[in-house]
Amino acid sequence: MRSEAPVHYDEHRKTWDVFRYEDVDHVLRNYEQFSADRSDRGDDPSDDAGSDMTVLKTMISTDPPEHERLRGFVNERFQPGILRDYRPRLEELTDELIDGFEDTDRFDFVEEFAVPFPVTVIAELLGIPAERRDQFREWSNALIARPDDPSEEAVQRMRRQRETAQREMGQYFAKLLEERRAGEGDDLVTLAATADELNQQEKIGFCMILLLAGNITTTNLLTNAIWSFEEQGVMDAVQSGDIDRKRAIEEVLRYRSPIQEIQRVTTENVELSGHEIEAGEIVNVWVGAANRDPDVFDEPEAFRPERSPNQHLAFGKGIHYCLGAPLARLEADIALDRLLTRFDRLDGDLSELRPISSHYGLRSLPCRIA
Ligand code: HEM
């Protein structure tokens, strides 16, 4: 599609698809013509792949100046310099999970590591009990769910589950925000509870988006890293340091981008690579396709863990550039470091790959350790 129809109208979905790096980059930077706010259209965000992040009114579904207000108060907390102080604690959390594999020679990387690690980390940052992570996961899954089949019944069932999850999560955070109004503690729920610039709904939305946005995405980055290193035969080289770990993580982000698709809506009639797009149209930018654009990446279909520069768009671009990108990178760096240091060998079993449908990742990844 990228070479034959780089900008294409999908008659079935009634949306525009954009595949080339240059166009994807342009749409994401140009927030005045391509808005993140779809509330005026009255769309049901659960019908599309962006459902996980657009269902709430938060920084991710707003434009300036609202966007600056909703993101500005937390931006600093996610800067790499600030997060660096958190490294020892992240190493400790990683080691605790790895300790659980001591008496075994195999485990499921997804279920036993890649799922619990990011949810534990974000729970700590928010200051909420990680023991409730099964509940957080249930809510997250309900909010990103797509109908099992296209029947009206399945769609209705999914909507009900989503509404329940949203209501329960909202009530959960409303109570916590109330309890933390006094402002003691430096967790993110307290930060939101004491933020004068946010109203109650915005505070709840903030807590919910943080819990949702960084979980399945980081789970998939970790899983895709082990998957790709195994598949490409570079696990040993990453382990020995012959291949730079940080660069290899960037290549995983490019090669198997956890978020493949981002949506915008046009605010006026626009021209994109020779196509006239009317105001109010949905534009899907395909980050995964852009990240394999031969005009930007040499041998884009090859996994080259030492690729540099690597200007992938896996974390988006422009004002909505992923708030949690430094955290996701830090988590991946620490997780791979600890896993490949503590085990002499870590071998993924790729004989039965079970991809997940909503994001680029796997349902399970059996690993043998020694
Ligand atoms: C935004 C990807 C991890 C929080 C985004 C966007 C992408 C993305 C593509 C842009 C969406 C858009 O333009 O509409 C990823 C990937 C991750 C990851 C691939 C892991 C590998 C995280 C983590 C957190 C997080 C760990 C938080 C703890 C957010 C937030 C936004 C965002 C709050 C909205 C930013 C804004 O609208 O200004 N992410 N993300 N993400 N991400 Fe991430």
* Residue showing tokens 């890649």: 114
pTM score, whole prediction = 0.94
State how far the Cα of 228 lies from the Cα of 234, in Å rounded to an integer: 8
pLDDT at residue 311, as a whole number: 98
Residue 316 CA to ligand 1 center (angstroms) comes to 8
Nearest of 283, 297, 208, 195 to residue 253 by alpha carbon: 297
Sign of CA dihedral 230, 257, 290, 358: positive
Instruction: Tokens for 230, please give them.
Output: 């195994």
Atom 2 of ligand 1 has which residue's CA nearest to it?
315
Give yes or no for residue 90 having a pLDDT over 50: yes
Residue 35 CA to ligand 1 center (angstroms) comes to 17
Atom 36 of ligand 1 has which residue's CA nearest to it?
320
Alpha helices in 232-310 (DSSP H): 235-240, 245-255, 287-290
CB atoms within 10 A of CB 235: 21
Give yes or no for residue 52 having a pLDDT over 50: no
Atom 1 of ligand 1 has which residue's CA nearest to it?
322
CA diameter of the chain: 62
Give the tens place of pLDDT for each residue, 246-291.
Answer: 999 999 999 999 999 999 999 999 999 999 999 999 999 999 999 9
Residue 1 CA to ligand 1 center (angstroms) comes to 26
Give the tens place of pLDDT for each residue, 312-352.
Answer: 999 999 999 999 999 999 999 999 999 999 999 999 999 99
State how far the Cα of 268 lies from the Cα of 15, in Å rounded to an integer: 15
* Domains in the chain with CATH codes: 7-369 (1.10.630.10)
- Interface predicted TM-score (ipTM): 0.99
Q: Which helix (H) or strand (E) holds 242?
A: none
Pocket test for ligand 1, best of 323, 333, 360 (most atoms within 8 A of CB): 323
Task: Band the pLDDT of 141: cuts 50, 70, 90.
Answer: confident
CB atoms within 10 A of CB 45: 20
Give yes or no for residue 46 having a pLDDT over 90: no
Give the tens place of pLDDT for each residue, 196-227.
Answer: 999 999 999 999 999 989 899 999 999 999 99
Phi first, then psi, for residue 115 (nearest 5°) are -80, -55
Q: Mean pLDDT over residues 96-105, rounded?
A: 93
Cβ–Cβ under 8 Å, residues 314 and 257: yes
3-state secondary structure of 328: helix
Q: Which atom of ligand 1 is nearest to the CA of 318?
A: 13
